[in-house]
Each structure stands twice: as structure tokens, then as C-alpha cells.
Amino acid sequence: MALAIFDLDNTLLAGDSDHRWGEFLCDAGLVEADTFRLKNDAFYADYQSGQLDMTAYLDFVLEPLTGMARSAVRSLQRQFVTECIEPMLLDKAFDLLNEHRIKGDTLLMMTATHTVVAEPVAARLGFEHWLASGVGIQDECYTGKAQGSPCFREGKVTHLATWRQRHPEAGDPANSWFYSDSHNDLPLLSAVGHPVAVDPDDTLRSHAEANQWPIMSLR
């Protein structure tokens, strides 16, 4: 039995759920659409170039939820999964997840996306274990701020180490798999025994080729 770790956006999904959440907020009338879209797109460009300030982005995208009750947000989550995530689902991604389940591996989804999005998407994909960037909650309402260190870049390595302390049965990282599309995940890809580039960006593709890592497509 091994640990199989999966990035979410543009790996298991044909798109970026975090960026799509921003579009969803615009469509739902929860933000001033033109201004929000400009900032959301700018943050996404920073992510693609490896320059993203993740805490600043999380505070930006969570601000519209300030003061909203968790119960109210749950209805938005359900609507978001139905309208936005279902079209992003990939048959080959489900096949890959099932291959690891059949082997008896422990499956873990790790994403920099905040938990408001990650939680319902992880459930839709059938994950028991998942890690994402935290959000502030007080008195069952969202604070509109990030909480804790983001599950991003080197932060994924840190979050995984903490998770493994609670799940020692998951096995050694040297015998773990990690599937990702992004050069932002190079710290964790370099820390596992079986890194796999999935529909990789140009930077990750070059690194994977130079290091003879497997490259695959789920599209």
C-alpha cells in the first residue's frame, strides 16, 4: 500500500476551480463583477507565472463571504458544484483514482484552493482525505480572511508532514505518488518517490523531461 497524492486544479479537473469560484461569485451578484474579474484574472496570471502572493489572493477571494453563515454558504457550494464543477470532471481522472483504490493505496487530495471550494469538490471526487488552504470561521460565520499557512508551494510539503503525523499508516513519502500539472508544485513533486506531471505547464514539462519523470494526460 502506498500514498497517492493528487493536485486538484488542471490535474483532476479540466480547469481551475478556484478561479471559477471567482466567476461564480460574479455571476451570483455577490461582488461587483467588472472590478472583481480584473483582480481575479490578475491573481491567476501571477499564479501561472509563479509570482502569486497566496495569502493576499485568499483574503481577496474570501472577502465577499465576510459575515455569511456556513449554512448559507453550503447552498452556494452545492450550486457551484452542480453548475461549475460537473462540466470540469474528467473520466480519465476517475479511472486513475480507481486504479489506486484497487491497489489499496491511501488517496489524498492536496490543493492550494480554499476549503469553501475544496471540501465539496473533494466529496464529489470521492476523497476521504484532503488538504486545502484554510479559511477563518468565527461563531459559525466566515471572517473573510485566510487562516493558517496556505497549502501552496513549500506549504504543501509542510501540510503533508503534519497530516502524516496523524496518519502514519499512509506510508513513507519515498513510496508516495504525487500527480500535478503545475510548476508551483515542484517542492512536493521533488519530495516524493513517484512524481508524475499531468498535462503540465511548460515549466513543469521541461523539469519533468530533464529529470525523466513520467508525463501523462487525463484530458
The catalytic site residues sit at 7, 9
How many Å apart are CA 111 and CA 153, to the nearest integer?
10
Given a contact cutoff of 8 angstroms between Cβ atoms, the answer to whether 65 and 142 are in contact is yes
Angle of CA points 74, 78, 80, to nearest 5°: 110
Task: For residue 65, count other CB atoms closer than 10 A to its CB.
Answer: 24
Given a contact cutoff of 8 angstroms between Cβ atoms, the answer to whether 186 and 213 are in contact is no
How many Å apart are CA 54 and CA 173, to the nearest integer?
25
DSSP output for 129-152: EEEEEEEEEETTEEEEEEESS-SS
